[in-house]
Structure 1
């Protein structure tokens, strides 16, 4: 089986790292299994956190109240409401509308009913929660990854109420043709272990994966709903066929209706809203603008212009930080690996050790990139230097030992 890279996102205070490995599974399976550890949602004076009984279990909703057509956010597989924490406050500031995020059953603060799982039950539970919260009318949908499946089903059941949608590198049933789906399900089943009781959300997310895909395969996103569909330039796969098929399915979706707009998110990995927040925020603001009258649109435009200036300034500040900080250069290198640009990552890691010759983790990052590039002997030297600079670097010692045994 060809080498693939397993994407592990670790959120220590504001940091993002990507580690590599050789999982015994295709990369499209990694996407299906992707789980994320997240921090609590940042505080907001208008936030309302509440548990809603949807019949047999409770869903946790986190709502920023405002005025206008509410925007409902569907997180990716294994995610919860905190998935949107880096962009939600900015969207609230610009739109001034109600923003609704929630934890799917078995994730975050939501409980789980083992007799009511699968995507249809998930959407029915969501509908019940929204109705009890008095948000069962018009909505705008924003969905990432597997959340796209839920958004598709929800939109098909509420075609008159969904006024617009923004899909962010969303999972499509098109991508999971029969052979790929069967292979995915077999490997997911082998990975579930004994999580049924300890983590029922993850367990049933995996157990129901094929059924969920096939269920959504039999519905379609209503063609009367305007959709902005983002696809990442660097989807979370290492095999060319997976990447090509993923992009082809998004192209097919965009062509299905004149109201569908397909956008390639250049330079971005699967988490487009983290790699290029302004791109996604502008799309959401654009979708929301279609629900406003002339006066409301004018006021929104002024707020968006203010945000655009701040976003451009923030972008420049981040780039300057990358040029000078060992930590940020290292993070940039890992991000480039995630995006599939190994050669550029190698240059960034090499620059980091040249600028910061006494920083142990700079050598570790360069060693990891060299190993991915098949330069084993050079990688060993980098890991040895990392351990020399930091004798307590247990991860480096372990990795070095593994390489030397190969």
Structure 2
């Protein structure tokens, strides 16, 4: 979805709610037998660089999928794997403050990655397609040797990737923490129309500098926004995958009370719509819960990992 307000702490052309919820804003690889064992590195996952001799240091793996390369950053651990997926317009660096603390607290392998067109990953021309983003994540985890016991942590737009990924790969996931994520109940025809109108000025501004990565992603998302979100409204989450729904108090729409209400209602509806789901409110937080309340994110991820370790 599009973000209703511009975050003044970032450049004016920052990805808006569309990015935030569409794909908004974020791991390898230790599960080999479905229960999480030692990591392996198959030849298809090319290690570009690695930190030698330093425990807890991330390794960069370049993964190939559908003709483009994607950067996956892996902090090796044991047992479970935690995959962090950032929101729209954000690359893996969004999680830099959380990765070391999460690795230390859980001992798990922690993976972050740059979606196509962001960070060190290749850009892909044309409209943004959630199925392509899901395919990229699937290819990365497969080539890194991840086969189970994965906790997926998805912020904002990445909630859309998480929903389709979970539907396709329920046995791979032991759980998910959806951090102020874009969720299907939000996207009624009325709300889609509101979001398109709300973000039209930002889309037009982005056209002035279409090669800037965040602008490029925003324009790609805008090109497919309406049909993609009509389809997403009908998407379902598998009952076999537990999920913690972590919602911000201010939401991406701080300043738009009607959209704030709809965002909060969508999170509550999703949490109530299946077994194994919990709703947790990040009091006082903006949409950027990982920045405003990192301790809360860590706490909920630790709970999810511990429950299935």
The answer, yes or no, to whether TM exceeds 0.5 is: yes
Please say if 1:218 is aligned against 2:230: no
Structure number with bigger Rg: 1
Deviation of 1:234 after TM superposition, in Å, equals 1.2
Please say if 1:165 is aligned against 2:176: yes
- Per the alignment, residue 69 of structure 1 pairs with 80
Pick from 279, 283, 294 the counterpart of residue 266 of structure 1: 283
Q: TM-score, normalised by structure 2?
A: 0.79
- Per the alignment, residue 264 of structure 2 pairs with 247
Alpha-carbon distance between aligned partners in 1 of 2:172 and 2:24, rounded to the nearest angstrom = 31
Which structure 2 residue ranges, 5 or more long, are not aligned?
A: 26-50
With CA pairs under 8 Å and 6+ residues apart, which has the higher RCO, 1 or 2?
2
Deviation of 1:197 after TM superposition, in Å, equals 4.9
Alpha-carbon distance between aligned partners in 1 of 2:303 and 2:217, rounded to the nearest angstrom = 34
Judging changes above 3 Å, is the alpha-carbon distance between structure 1 residues 211 and 102 closer, same or farther for their aligned structure 2 residues?
A: farther
- Per the alignment, residue 6 of structure 1 pairs with 6
Structure showing the higher strand proportion among its residues: 2
- Per the alignment, residue 207 of structure 2 pairs with 193
Alpha-carbon distance between aligned partners in 1 of 2:263 and 2:273, rounded to the nearest angstrom = 16
Pick from 110, 113, 118 the counterpart of residue 129 of structure 2: 118
Matched-pair contact (CA < 8 Å) for 1:268–1:276: yes
Deviation of 1:273 after TM superposition, in Å, equals 2.0
Deviation of 1:162 after TM superposition, in Å, equals 1.0
Alpha-carbon distance between aligned partners in 2 of 1:192 and 1:184, rounded to the nearest angstrom = 16
Alpha-carbon distance between aligned partners in 2 of 1:230 and 1:94, rounded to the nearest angstrom = 19
Computed over aligned residues only, the root mean square deviation of the Cα atoms, in angstroms, reads: 2.7
Matched-pair contact (CA < 8 Å) for 1:143–1:151: yes
Please say if 1:288 is aligned against 2:305: yes
Structure showing the higher helix proportion among its residues: 1
Q: TM-score, normalised by structure 1?
A: 0.61
Cα deviation, 1:95-154, whole Å, max 9, x if unaligned, reads 111111101100111102326841001111221122111124331110111111111110
Alpha-carbon distance between aligned partners in 1 of 2:126 and 2:267, rounded to the nearest angstrom = 34
Count of aligned positions:
269
